[in-house]
Amino acid sequence: MADSVVPLPYVDFLTPPVPAGQQVPAVLIHGWASGSVYWEPLAKKLLDAGRPVWIIDLPGYHPGDLLPSDFEWTLDSAAASVGAILDARAQGPVHVVGHSMGGSVSLTLAAARPELVASLTLVGMAPVPQNQGFKEVLRSQLDQGFFDSGTIAKLMNAWYGELSGADMERLSTGFKVPFPVLSASALAAMTGVEPSVPGRVQAPLLVLAGTDDRVRPLGQMRAFVAESPQRQLKAISGAGHNVHWEKPQECAEALHEFWETSWPPPA
């Protein structure tokens, strides 16, 4: 990977209708088997408040993506891809927001490229071992070479709770990415970040959590935040794993408060 070309991810660059001054962009990074669609409610709230929003599709997740033949999907290579687009388009450090596996990519980026990250928000995520039941479900599907409809429905229910048929169709499109990408990113999600990564993050860090998250219990996230004074926790009552989808207004308010108090850093 060191000598190969790092592919630039697809990015939807969204500009607010009424910009609120020189705002630092919010860069949203999706989780495993997910995509840009589940960011839409939060992105609208941020745009309405005058914040530029960049929604990233990680390598291989955007329809029609063609990855280099020697590209190996890992947290490091995904973070390098995000870093490459920030090098190309950002005019300074940005506010990075990563959900679930996207949080692992975001942590990896913040540790490796601190100059790119003004702040870091982990949504529904703390870098602790995955739920064993979840890992067993993933391994069974990876072994059979495809994700069956029953397993997809089970996972979606754990992530979102009950969905309408239309929302199920829209939100499950992440399972339609090429299986080599889906399987490699699943392994990355299960493995998680290298143990030294969180301690190397210099940026202010917020964990944004739903109190009813069935994937990452709130206690795990509280314990992670308690390890450093640089970390904060905002718990959103009644929300689950996809707190940004379920409670976009509350999430937008928490993010703006965090950004306004953490950036720019004190002189």
Q: pLDDT by residue (tens digit) across 28-45?
A: 999 999 999 999 999 999
Cis ω for the linkage preceding 264 (within 30 of 0): yes
pLDDT band at residue 226 using 50, 70 and 90 as cut-offs: very high
Judge whether residue 22 has pLDDT over 50.
yes
For the chain, give every domain's residue range.
10-262
Residue 169 has pLDDT above 50, yes or no: yes
Confidence of residue 19 (pLDDT cuts 50, 70, 90): confident
| 8-30 mean pLDDT | 93
Mean pLDDT over 143-166 rounds to 92
CA neighbor of 220 nearest in space, from 236, 204, 209? 209
CA 256 – CA 51 distance, rounded (Å): 9
CA distances from 25 to 13, 17, 197 (A): 9, 14, 24
Find all residues with CB under 8 Å of 238, minimum gap 6, and list them: 210, 211, 212, 246, 247
What percentage of the chain carries pLDDT values higher than 70? 98
Residue 2 has pLDDT above 50, yes or no: no
Q: What angle do CA 158, 159, 163 make, to 5 degrees?
A: 90
Q: What element of type H or E holds 203?
A: none
Predicted local distance difference test score (pLDDT) of residue 1: 43
Q: How confident is the model at residue 129 (pLDDT cuts 50, 70, 90)?
A: confident
| Cα 11 to Cα 9: distance, rounded to the nearest angstrom | 6
Pick the closest to residue 166 from 54, 253, 37, 78 (CA basis): 37
* Residue 20 pLDDT grade (very low, low, confident, very high; cuts 50, 70, 90): confident
Average pLDDT of the residues in 133-159: 90
Residue 132 confidence (pLDDT)? 78
**Whether the predicted pLDDT of 265 surpasses 80:** no
Classify domain 10-262 by CATH number: 3.40.50.1820
